[in-house]
Amino acid sequence: MVDRPGWIAPEIAEHYGVGIHTVTKTWVQHPDWPASVGKRGRYKEYDAAAVHRFVRRHVERQPVVLEPERLYTAQQLEDAGIGIKAGTIRADLTRGRWPEPDDTEHGVNRWKGKTVTAVMTSRRGYRRTKET
């Protein structure tokens, strides 16, 4: 998980697959971001374990358990706490970034829980494996 005790912004960005701008202008500005433990070159250095805890608490989206065969509307998915608004689901569907509905009875788009779970695990920011 963590190879060295301290990380600088470029290492954090590379490790988590985000841009350095995300680290320096968004994460570091968060009030819960860990204090620096030193400096390496022109970058502040942060405790790698503390950075990992921050990312787990504030960046990674926790997977939501959906009933695999149940059909959900976009609003029901938002209400279930999947981390995406119903309007975003509808917009992504229009743009081809969300799967076609599993059911369209009465003109209402509905997706099975297993369909949504599959698409959510492939989206950035969602944990793919369970970590302790």
pLDDT digits (tens, 9 = 90+) for 55-106: 988 887 677 789 999 999 999 999 998 888 999 999 999 999 999 999 999 9
pTM, 2 dp: 0.56
Cβ atoms of residues 116 and 72 within 8 Å: yes
Question: Which pLDDT belongs to residue 1?
Answer: 47
DSSP 83-126: SS-HHHHHHHHHTT-SPPPSB-GGG--BEEHHHHHHHHHHSTTB
Question: Which pLDDT belongs to residue 125?
Answer: 55
What CA–CA distance (Å, rounded) separates 66 from 51?
A: 30
Of 93, 84, 71, which Cα lies nearest the Cα of 124? Answer: 84
What CA–CA distance (Å, rounded) separates 25 from 81?
A: 27
